[in-house]
Structure 1
Amino acid sequence: MTRPSFGIMTAPMQVDYDDVLRVWREADEVEEIAHAWLFDHLMPIGGDPAGPAYEGWTLLSALAAQTRRLRVGLLVTSNRFRPPAMLAKIATTVDIVSGGRLDFGIGAGSRPDHPLARREYEAHGLPYHDFAHSVGSLDEACTVIRRLWTETEPFDFDGTYVRLTGAYGNPKPVQRPYPPIVIGGRSSATLRVVARHADVWNIPGGDLEDAVRRSALLDRYCAEIGRDPAAITRSMHLQVAYDRPQATRDAIRGALAAGFPHLVLGLPAPYPARVARWVAEELIAH
């Protein structure tokens, strides 16, 4: 059985930079916490719609420079926000800044029925394509990004959604052959992309039976393409309730028993003092 791995998520909205930095520095000193995550939204998706929200990759680079041990990542990057070759360059930079601690999270982008997420596209002049486009472009993005991280000669790419001429990545990431790819999502179409490209698959918690069904579907898709399903680590995001730690502990036990050993514990703001140590003592240790 895969050894459990615990991380924290600090959504970079409705908070100050110093608040997030404090929590990550605390977590960096807590051995039980192995990884730390941000999300990727350009405007708040909860609380005051006009409140602050930080750009994920910029913030991640700053936090990577001020931690020494934690693996770091975005859960997950919206493939809708940045062209994939540009994203490959950004991610390489963060992997170098962190000394090879990046877990590269990516997904198809916000679902169409989330109005607070949908508005950020029009507000930033970004196109919002349909679901088939978003999943197809995610598949091609993963292909292109891996090639930019590994190939030693320029290449052209003429896909349905991505077209590159003379594409080349230099420098390369610290991690070889490339940073672990974490794909988030639950749709069957996204799971086919997971089967082809991911080292880790993440799904939000809350409906454990559905997560188990989706995991079985991923197993089937892996078998169809001749990939060992065990090569993809199963990951789940679980929201923490500071006033109900037993509920979170129960959710952790359920996820582990269901075959999800990679757990990301979402910390709601405001963050209590010594929250990382609290997570280790009250949630992980139990």
Structure 2
Amino acid sequence: MPHSLHPSFGIMTAPQQVGYHDVLRVWREADAIPQIEHAWLFDHLMPIAGGPDGPAYEGWTLLAALAAQTRRLRLGVLVTSNRFRPPAMLAKIAATVDDICGGRLDFGIGAGSRPGHPLARREYDAHGLPFHDAAHAAESLAEACTVIRRLWTEAEPFDFHGTHIRLTGAFCNPKPVQRPHPPILIGGRSSPTLRVAAEHADLWNIPGGDIDDVVRRSALLDRYCAEIGRDPASITRSIHLPVSYDRPGPTRDAIAEAIGAGFRHIVLGLPSPYPDGVARWVTDELITSRNN
């Protein structure tokens, strides 16, 4: 992804408590509005808000469907839980989606929700997924990023024997459309995750809210980059900001704060249900209105 001084804006439609056609309607509308440059889903297997037994779609399956029915938007999952899918399988899934959309994938990945969080914890129990401590999660994420990049770029099968990931004859064909590979966005705020981002990320995303904490975390990422000899400016800073349809003013203020703090990739989280014309509303009330 080219680095530019002007901010790019995108939307996030968390696929919970909504129907497929609701999400598709919003993405198709956004795809026709140039000011909205990217669109995102989240990666939860059960709702984390609203009724606990409500609908929640599997993120990558839904992303593939939306990739086939949009033409311009960059798209991704903000962020994929590295706890849910074996990394080599995830590399194959992502390469498939990048092919479907003609090279518009931004590959978002993170350590995965804390299993100690009650709403997140039940996802693991309900799907027979193991959960591990934070140190295991961060180490696994670093190995996953290494393996995924190699699968996307290496022309010959390889073996990998890490602490957490073991592969024999690993190979990915077809490769992603994007060369050398889709941009890697790493999401999270913990120090171990930021160390992984310093090494592997093209973009780093953090949830907004406490701008002072966001700024401190961005400075820590700068420090980790310096420690390994990487230019901190080579990692685009991304932030997720929740939207209120009734009170756009605070969202506009949060956007201004984030841009002032050096964040150039703004993801606007849209609550459901989605009003008619919500993408146009976002453009008029939150994006172009900043310049008025």
Normalising TM by the smaller chain, what interval? over 0.9
Aligned residue number for residue 248 of structure 1: 251
The amino acid across from 1:270 in the alignment is P
Asked if 1:106 is matched to 2:109, the reply is yes
Q: Deviations over 1:214-248 (max 9, x none)?
A: 11100010000000000000000000000000110
The amino acid across from 2:285 in the alignment is E
Aligned residue number for residue 207 of structure 2: 204
Aligned partner of residue 36 in structure 2, secondary structure? coil
Equivalent in 152, 155, 159 of residue 162 of structure 2: 159
The amino acid across from 1:284 in the alignment is I
The amino acid across from 2:64 in the alignment is S
The amino acid across from 1:90 in the alignment is I
Asked if 1:24 is matched to 2:27, the reply is yes
Q: Deviations over 1:69-98 (max 9, x none)?
A: 000000000000000000000000000000
Aligned residue number for residue 236 of structure 1: 239
Instruction: State the Cα distance separating 1:113 from its structure 2 match.
Output: 3.5
Deviation >2 Å, runs of 4+? none
Partners of 2:212 and 2:78 lie apart in 1 by 22
CA contact (8 A) 2:44 2:56 kept: yes
Asked if 1:188 is matched to 2:191, the reply is yes
Partners of 1:257 and 1:98 lie apart in 2 by 33
TM-score by length of structure 2 reads 0.97
Partners of 2:117 and 2:77 lie apart in 1 by 19
Aligned residue number for residue 45 of structure 1: 48
TM-score by length of structure 1 reads 0.99
Asked if 1:63 is matched to 2:66, the reply is yes
The amino acid across from 1:105 in the alignment is G
Tell me the number of residue pairs that the alignment of Structure 1 and Structure 2 aligns.
286
Could you tell me which runs of 5 or more consecutive residues in structure 2 were left unpaired when the two chains were aligned: none
CA contact (8 A) 2:82 2:111 kept: yes
Task: Report the RMSD for the aligned CA atoms in angstroms.
Answer: 0.6
Instruction: State the Cα distance separating 1:20 from its structure 2 match.
Output: 0.2
Partners of 2:117 and 2:270 lie apart in 1 by 21
Q: Deviations over 1:113-160 (max 9, x none)?
A: 421111001100000111111110000000000000000011000000
Asked if 1:77 is matched to 2:80, the reply is yes
CA contact (8 A) 2:115 2:124 kept: no
